[in-house]
Amino acid sequence: MPKKLPQERAGAIPPGIRNIHILVVEDERHLADSVARRLQEEGYLVDIAHDGEEGFQLACSKKYHLIVLDLLLPKKDGLSVLKELRRNKVQSMILVLTAKSTIEDRVEGLRTGADDYLSKPFAFAELIARVESLLRRHGVEQSPVLHVADLELDIETRAVRRASKNIHLTQKEFLLLELLMRNKNRIMTRRTIAEQVWGYNFDTGTNVVDVYINYLRKAIDEGFPKRLIHTIRGVGFILKEE
């Protein structure tokens, strides 16, 4: 039986996501649980398998829109799972997740049938962006635009606007703003932000989160009468709609 985590949502599930099923095949249990929980926070329905044999059996017996597949798995390695899934005409989109990062490894995975490739360590925000991109290619409708007050972020075009002003952000600033907007009116701790934007093994002893929050404040709050980003002293930050 696949491992299921209870659904946890900070806010409303985005339209079109409620019935999207994702299988996470990852033998690092802490990482598997973290990935599954992050996907569930976006409203996806998630199962977990901790070895290649279980992952293969689940993928063949149940219809998943997308499979997040590690390559270094016990019992059956991920590349073998990938080959057999495609040989068995399993049509699920497959996002390969692995510590292998050479060009040769990526090419082999893609030629074998993977739809995308994400190297460890990775930022959860990038994982979510890859998942959404794959699902859109698969024809699953999801709203690409986030709104908070007069702030608008387009996930597909990476355009950011507040009122009538276009705002230019770096990649990390965009990921940070997207994370805050997806969790509007919810306090986000520095540790959570660091894991989501910089990676699950990020050194939280640095002040990079505060530095990038300041960059964002200058970009989206400076010159506007209403501040959207607020500091919760000793805890973290919150993007408030009201």
| DSSP alpha helix (H) spans, 88-232 | 103-112, 124-137, 171-182, 190-198, 208-220
Instruction: Assess whether 37 and 133 both reside in one domain.
Output: yes
Predicted pLDDT at 202? 60
pTM of the model: 0.61
Instruction: Assess whether 92 and 174 both reside in one domain.
Output: no
Instruction: Assess whether 68 and 164 both reside in one domain.
Output: no
Taking a C-beta distance cutoff of 8 angstroms, is the pair 67, 59 a contact? yes
The model's pLDDT over 186-218, given as tens digits with 9 standing for 90+, comes to: 888 888 888 778 876 666 567 889 999 999 999
Of 87, 106, 137, the one marking the end of a domain is 137
Total domains in the chain come to 2
What residues have CB less than 8 Å from 146, skipping those under 6 apart?
Answer: 152, 153, 155, 178, 181, 182
7 has pLDDT over 50: no
224 vs 3 pLDDT, higher one = 224
Instruction: Assess whether 74 and 153 both reside in one domain.
Output: no
Instruction: Assess whether 122 and 191 both reside in one domain.
Output: no
Instruction: Assess whether 116 and 202 both reside in one domain.
Output: no
Instruction: Assess whether 108 and 193 both reside in one domain.
Output: no
Which of 52-66, 115-129, 134-148, 204-218 bottoms out in mean pLDDT, i.e. has the lowest? Answer: 134-148
Of 137, 166, 188, the one marking the end of a domain is 137
Predicted pLDDT at 8? 34
Give the C-alpha separation, 190 to 205, whole Å: 10
User: Which tokens belong to 103?
Assistant: 């060009």
Predicted pLDDT at 213? 95
Of 112, 137, 162, the one marking the end of a domain is 137
Which of 53-57, 129-133, 150-154, 164-168 bottoms out in mean pLDDT, i.e. has the lowest? Answer: 129-133
Is the omega angle on the peptide bond into residue 225 within 30 degrees of 0, that is, cis? Answer: no
Q: Return the CATH number at 12.
A: 3.40.50.2300
Give the C-alpha separation, 226 to 22, whole Å: 39
Which of 20-24, 131-135, 200-204 bottoms out in mean pLDDT, i.e. has the lowest? Answer: 200-204
pLDDT average, residue stretch 33-58: 90
| DSSP alpha helix (H) spans, 9-77 | 29-41, 52-61
Domain range for 206 is 145-239
